[in-house]
Amino acid sequence: MAPAQPDLDFTVVSGPAVDVQHLTHRYGRTLALDDLSWSADSAAITCVLGPNGAGKTTAMEIAEGLRRADGGSVRVLDADPWSASAEHRARVGVMLQDGGLPGSVGAGRFLDHVGRLVGRSDRVPALVDALDIGGFVQTTVRRLSGGQRQRVALAAALVGEPAVAFLDEPTAGLDPHARLDVWDLIRAERDRGCAVIVTTHSFEEAERLADKVVVMAAGRSVAEGPVATIADGGDLETAYFALTRPGHTR
């Protein structure tokens, strides 16, 4: 459960940390988002589930301020992420699906660089420890395994102690130990007050982590709520298949 009193000051934010309302987005003739609405609270983990192509990454990119929606609105920490200030962006952590890390830089050097950039070098050692990065800090990013690279990308997303963190499939391809480390870290971020938004294809991950689940299909939200509410006495997997089968409507 989320703690009642997070230790960060979020007094400037009223309502949800992330509020997506009636978003639409097209890529040419592909309708990627079709009247999508959902929200995510501070001090809570929101897991976004949905089939390939459901629009999860598109919605995240819009909320991160990397892409502009065709219609609808998105508010992150009470600001429009597309036109938000540098100060706002510094409060938002982003872990992209393909990492976006510089290949020729050592993992430790890269994290040190990001830590200095956001003025939180002090956070780097704890993240290196929590994600078991110590064994490969000297290795250049391009020589890291996929799972190691992912852990570095996650550390980089969290080093600034963000108020909102968007994590796109943070545990995909990780070994079971690393996955537990990442889950513990995500819970710790939630417990200090962060709104953590995680896209995943893992029912186990959603069941173990989520304070709230958003199920997307064909560019829309087809269910939103705690796992127990969505599963409705059954399991999440069964509910998911019923909600996301082709032709399903709310």
Ligand X SMILES: Nc1ncnc2c1ncn2[C@@H]1O[C@H](COP(=O)(O)OP(=O)(O)OP(=O)(O)O)[C@@H](O)[C@H]1O
For residue 96 the two structure tokens come to 């992209």
Residue number, 13 or 206, with CB nearest to ligand X: 206
Distance CA 214, CA 17 (A): 15
Whether the Cβ atoms of residue 11 and residue 160 lie closer than 8 Å to each other: no
Any residues with CB less than 8 A from the CB of 71 and at least 6 apart, and which? 22, 23, 24, 25
Residue number, 30 or 229, with CB nearest to ligand X: 30
Residue 63 CB, nearest approach to ligand X (Å): 12
Residue 235 CB, nearest approach to ligand X (Å): 21
Residue number, 34 or 207, with CB nearest to ligand X: 34
Task: Please give the size of the binding site for ligand X, defined by CB under 6 A.
Answer: 11
Whether the Cβ atoms of residue 236 and residue 203 lie closer than 8 Å to each other: yes
Which residues 8-67 are close enough to bind ligand X by CB under 6 A?
A: 27, 30, 32, 50, 52-58
151 interacts with ligand X by CB under 6 A = no
Residue number, 39 or 200, with CB nearest to ligand X: 200
**Alpha-helical regions (H) of 131-235:** 146-158, 176-191, 203-209, 227-231
Q: In the complex, which residues of this chain contact ligand X (CB under 6 A)?
A: 27, 30, 32, 50, 52-58
